[in-house]
């Protein structure tokens, strides 16, 4: 699959005819000046054409610009369409974007650690269909189920509490959105992975989890944060301060592992620790293999390879050649 990444730069090609026109106009002016000294056509026969090498130079110069513009456009080829094996598992990842995810009990903070985990997960399960939900006080589908892991990684890496409208933590809203999104995925096994500190501000989360179970969805919870908790940065403040309660005390955010364990168990899922390293991904592979014995063949164009460097190299070579051309001494 072929594409140009930055097509707007094609407009720069319009400058080439203008440059050539200005060049021809300057040559015409020079010829007029030579006519003052005598008949220009006679002069051309008596001496070598004074503009011959200039013509070579302008052609090379215009070609150098053209190839440089093609480098800016960045021609790309998609990864060769290839058959990959995938289990019949549809996976939605729900990422908590409440302000408590900015707590720094896990470095650099809970949210950035969760984003890194998503990147690692999608790299290891790149052949699966994966969707992305972000939630705080409400939940939003940021990407439907797709095999384009680059899109999932990009959207998750840009996610921030500042990009979501209503603050709070409604795990129930995330489960509800995932349940609706996967209702039409008949025949496939359904997994919802919730990455959160578990500080749910509503009391209907288990009810929503039971509805998800009725739709055949298993929930895997991934708690973020240390049990001792941490202060919550105040994103509305300009002084890098922390949130305080009505008594003026700093609010400490602690992960609610008990609730997350209960959510997972209610759907025959499991709770996994984000700090478990590669072991957790190996366990998930085994779990998915047990869930689905069958394999299906899929095709994907996830990655593009850039070829701008070849056009840039040609442009530089042509420009150097243009500089080296000199009119021979007579």
Would you say residue 12 has pLDDT above 60?
yes
Length of the chain: 330
Kindly state the percentage of the chain with pLDDT values over 90: 38
pLDDT at residue number 290: 73
Report residue 36's pLDDT band, with 50, 70 and 90 as the boundaries: low
Within 8 A by CB and 6+ apart from 315, the residues are 63, 64, 65, 66, 67, 68, 70, 71
Measured distance CA(161)–CA(138) in Å, rounded: 12
Q: Is the bond preceding 86 in cis, omega lying within 30 degrees of 0?
A: no
Q: Give the domains, in start order, of the chain with CATH numbers.
A: 2-78+304-324 (no CATH), 82-300 (3.40.50.410)
Q: State whether the Cα torsion 243-248-251-252 is positive or negative.
A: positive
Beta strands across the sheet bearing 189-196: 139-146, 129-135, 89-96, 189-196, 217-223, 270-271
pLDDT per position as a tens digit, 260-318:
999 999 999 999 988 777 888 888 888 887 766 555 555 454 556 778 888 989 989 99
Within 8 A by CB and 6+ apart from 250, the residues are 231, 242, 243, 244
The mean pLDDT value for 83-98 works out to 80
pLDDT per position as a tens digit, 112-148:
999 999 999 999 988 889 999 999 888 999 999 998 8
* DSSP assignment string, 110-153: HHHHHHHHHHHHHHHTTTSEEEEEEESSSEEEEEEEES-HHHHH
Would you say residue 37 has pLDDT above 60?
no
Measured distance CA(11)–CA(251) in Å, rounded: 54
pLDDT at residue number 118: 95
Would you say residue 237 has pLDDT above 80?
no
Measured distance CA(232)–CA(101) in Å, rounded: 8
pLDDT per position as a tens digit, 241-257:
888 888 888 889 899 99
Sort residue 181 into left (φ over 0), alpha (ψ -120 to 50) or beta: alpha
Measured distance CA(291)–CA(298) in Å, rounded: 19
pLDDT per position as a tens digit, 137-192:
889 999 999 988 888 999 999 999 888 777 778 899 999 999 999 887 666 789 99
Query: Would you state the structure tokens that stand for residue 121, as one six-digit string?
Result: 């997960």
pLDDT at residue number 323: 85
Measured distance CA(184)–CA(278) in Å, rounded: 32
What's the predicted TM-score (pTM) here? Answer: 0.63
Q: Is 320 exposed, middle or buried (0-12, 13-18, 19+ CB in 10 A)?
A: exposed
C-alpha distances in Å from residue 298, one per residue of 129, 132, 147: 10, 20, 9
Measured distance CA(224)–CA(274) in Å, rounded: 7
Measured distance CA(220)–CA(198) in Å, rounded: 13
């Amino acid at each position: 699959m072929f594409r140009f990444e930055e097509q707007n730069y094609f407009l720069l090609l319009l400058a080439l005819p203008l440059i050539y026109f200005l060049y021809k106009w300057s040559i015409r002016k020079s010829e007029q000046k030579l006519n003052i000294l005598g008949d220009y056509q006679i002069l051309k026969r008596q001496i070598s054409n004074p503009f011959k090498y200039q013509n070579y130079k302008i052609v090379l110069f215009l070609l150098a610009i053209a190839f440089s513009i093609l480098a800016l456009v960045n021609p790309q080829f998609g990864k060769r369409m290839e058959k990959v094996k995938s289990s019949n598992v549809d996976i939605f990842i729900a990422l908590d974007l409440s302000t408590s995810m900015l707590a720094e009990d896990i470095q650099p903070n809970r949210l950035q650690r969760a984003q890194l985990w998503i990147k690692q997960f999608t790299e290891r399960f790149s052949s699966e269909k994966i969707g992305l939900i972000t939630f705080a006080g409400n939940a939003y589908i940021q990407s439907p189920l797709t095999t384009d892991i680059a899109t999932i990684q990009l959207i998750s890496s840009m996610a921030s509490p500042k990009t979501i409208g209503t603050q709070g933590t409604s795990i129930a809203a995330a489960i509800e959105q995932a349940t609706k999104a996967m209702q039409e995925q008949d025949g496939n096994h359904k997994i919802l992975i919730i990455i959160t500190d578990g500080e749910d501000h509503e009391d209907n989360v288990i009810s929503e989890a039971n509805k998800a179970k009725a739709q055949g969805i298993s929930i895997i919870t991934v708690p973020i944060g240390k049990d001792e908790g941490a202060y919550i940065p105040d994103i509305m403040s300009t002084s890098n301060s922390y949130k305080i309660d009505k008594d003026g005390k700093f609010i400490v955010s602690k992960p609610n592992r008990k609730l997350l364990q209960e959510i997972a168990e209610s759907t025959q899922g499991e709770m996994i620790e984000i700090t478990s390293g590669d072991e957790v991904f190996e366990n998930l592979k085994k779990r998915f293999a047990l869930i689905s014995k069958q394999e299906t063949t899929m095709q994907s164009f996830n990655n593009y390879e850039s070829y701008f460097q070849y056009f840039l190299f040609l442009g530089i070579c042509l420009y150097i050649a243009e500089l080296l051309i000199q009119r021979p001494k007579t």
